[in-house]
Structure 1
Amino acid sequence: MPGSTGNGAVTRSTLRQQIADALRDEVLGGRLQPGQEFTVKEIAEQYGVSATPVREALVDLSAQGLLEADQHRGFRVPEYSAADYRGMIEARSLIIEGMFIALDAGRQSHQNFEEPRVAAAIAGVRRRGEEAQRAASAGDLTVLIGYDLRFWRELSALFGNPYLTDFLHRLRVQSWVCTVQHLRRLSDLRGCLWSGHTELVDALYARDTDAARVILAAYNDESIGLIERLATR
């Protein structure tokens, strides 16, 4: 819970980040229910802090797609349908296809993924993918989400366009919010969560965008099918 540090007062910006982190965990953990509404005052009282850093934190989360702002009622957790999820996947696919086109263009201009700095970054992305895969195999959704978001943020950063990276991150956050809402219906998630992270990294490192497209197409089809089945329960 946000509060004071060992050596005195916490700055407003620190409180803002702590509150945002705590609420993000609540939403992505499925502990804040879809459609649930709350006000700045309620959250400020819950954490025992002033309204200003709470308002700033809630605005930040709204900008990231984790919450919806309502001018008259405060904030609420968005409710996403299977159709919403399909739209998110389509948007994500368009962005990622742009990344693949950029990679193909780089191949034609003889840019090298084995340049030491880039190779080190790719190794870091692969480690994140390995952790995500372990979490997926264990059915540990909370750990998976954390590593999956880091995986995709670091992977997209390799393409050198921070606007693309930020937009893809926002879409992946929103799609996880939607996914969590539907996966709540399952008691055991083992075998239900995508774990192709390292396979994708290896394909991209080999500059095999055709293989990467096949991997992601299968991932998207499987994910959409799962959410649509759960939405009908």
Structure 2
Amino acid sequence: MGRGAMCASGAVTRSTLRQQIADALRDEVLAGRLQPGREFTVKQIAEQYGVSATPVREALFDLSAQGLLESDQHRGFRVREFTVADYRSLVEARSLVIDGVIRGIFFGAGLPTAQLTGYRDCLVSVRRRAQEAARAARGGDLDILIGYDLRFWRELGALVGNAYINDFLHRLRVQAWVFAVPYLRHDAAARDWLWHGHQDLVAAVTLGEHDAVRAVLDDYRTHAMNWADRLAAGELGHPRRGAGPAGQAPGPGAPRG
């Protein structure tokens, strides 16, 4: 199982297993193996992973609370289907929050020099994430990009010191990827859309160049909105929905470490 899942006795705790199952299913959705509209039950997931129903039910409710699944009292759970309008709203919401967060951290009135220097020191790790994310985006490697992109924004957001804001932004970004992945899997040419300005943003923030930061963030938002416009205009093929029989359990995989 990994990630320190095994306690001293060698047993897996329920809370850890719950998180592992949630992580595994989230990865399945982000990888496009669990497509929008796919339905499944607690029993099916429990049998798939060889675990009891309780941690599975808890994990599925966690993912529902994060907006990735929808629950139905009689039919179980279904992977949420986001619309282009939903995607636009996600982009707009995260843009507004990111703008306020970054300006507040690096360009707030009266920000002590020592504190600003500390933030910039923390950007060393963020810069590494940015390099990997940009490299994956330019190469069209979707799987690697998603992982590094989520880590990049998570680490950058952590500098604000407000876990609630960072969790909110992370949730928006995961939901946006869930919407985008089926299109990107369906049409390889759509990967030209992949944004790779991570390094530009880190460079601008590190130098404290307000106009450059604004320009990168504006480009990030415009890039996503332009892609949404192309989708709405029907320029990109609609992804195949709900592969496999309704109610079929997810494909191979297990809670990963």
Displacement, 1:115? Answer: 5.7
Q: Distance in 2 between matches of 1:185 and 1:22?
A: 22
Displacement, 1:42? Answer: 1.0
Verify the 8 A CA contact 2:106 2:116 in the aligned structure 1: no
RMSD: 2.4
Report the equivalent of 2:192: 191
Displacement, 1:63? Answer: 2.2
Q: Deviations over 1:79-118 (max 9, x none)?
A: 1121111110110111012113413653x31423776643
Report the equivalent of 1:58: 60
Q: Distance in 2 between matches of 1:196 and 1:71?
A: 43
Report the equivalent of 1:119: 120
Gaps of 5+ in 2: 238-257
Displacement, 1:189? Answer: 5.7
Give the letter aligned to residue 211 of structure 2.
D
Verify the 8 A CA contact 1:149 1:169 in the aligned structure 2: yes
Q: Deviations over 1:41-62 (max 9, x none)?
A: 1111111111001011112222
Q: Deviations over 1:179-203 (max 9, x none)?
A: 1122122125653311110100111
TM-score, normalised to structure 2, is 0.81
- Counterpart of 1:81 (choices 83, 99, 102) is 83
Gaps of 5+ in 1: none
TM-score, normalised to structure 1, is 0.89
- SS of the equivalent of 2:81 reads coil
Report the equivalent of 2:19: 17
Report the equivalent of 2:46: 44
Q: Distance in 1 between matches of 2:185 and 2:192?
A: 15
- SS of the equivalent of 1:76 reads strand
- Counterpart of 1:35 (choices 37, 42, 47) is 37
Q: Structure 1 pair 92/129, CA: closer, same or farther in 2 (3 Å)? A: same
Give the letter aligned to residue 61 of structure 1.
L
Q: Distance in 2 between matches of 1:113 and 1:170?
A: 31
Q: Distance in 2 between matches of 1:57 and 1:10?
A: 15
Give the letter aligned to residue 33 of structure 1.
Q
Verify the 8 A CA contact 2:183 2:190 in the aligned structure 1: no
- SS of the equivalent of 2:192 reads coil
Question: What is the total number of aligned residue pairs between the two structures?
Answer: 231
Alignment of structure 1 residues 122-201 onto 2, 5 Å: 122-188=123-189, 191-201=192-202
Q: Distance in 2 between matches of 1:194 and 1:133?
A: 8
- SS of the equivalent of 1:191 reads helix
Q: Distance in 2 between matches of 1:209 and 1:159?
A: 17
Q: Deviations over 1:125-164 (max 9, x none)?
A: 1111111111111211111111111111111111222211
Q: Distance in 2 between matches of 1:65 and 1:87?
A: 14
% same residue: 60
Q: Which has the higher contact order (CA 8 A, sep 6+)?
A: 2
Q: Distance in 2 between matches of 1:11 and 1:160?
A: 29
- Counterpart of 2:99 (choices 94, 97, 100) is 97
- SS of the equivalent of 2:124 reads helix
Verify the 8 A CA contact 1:20 1:61 in the aligned structure 2: yes
Q: Distance in 2 between matches of 1:73 and 1:213?
A: 46
- SS of the equivalent of 2:71 reads strand
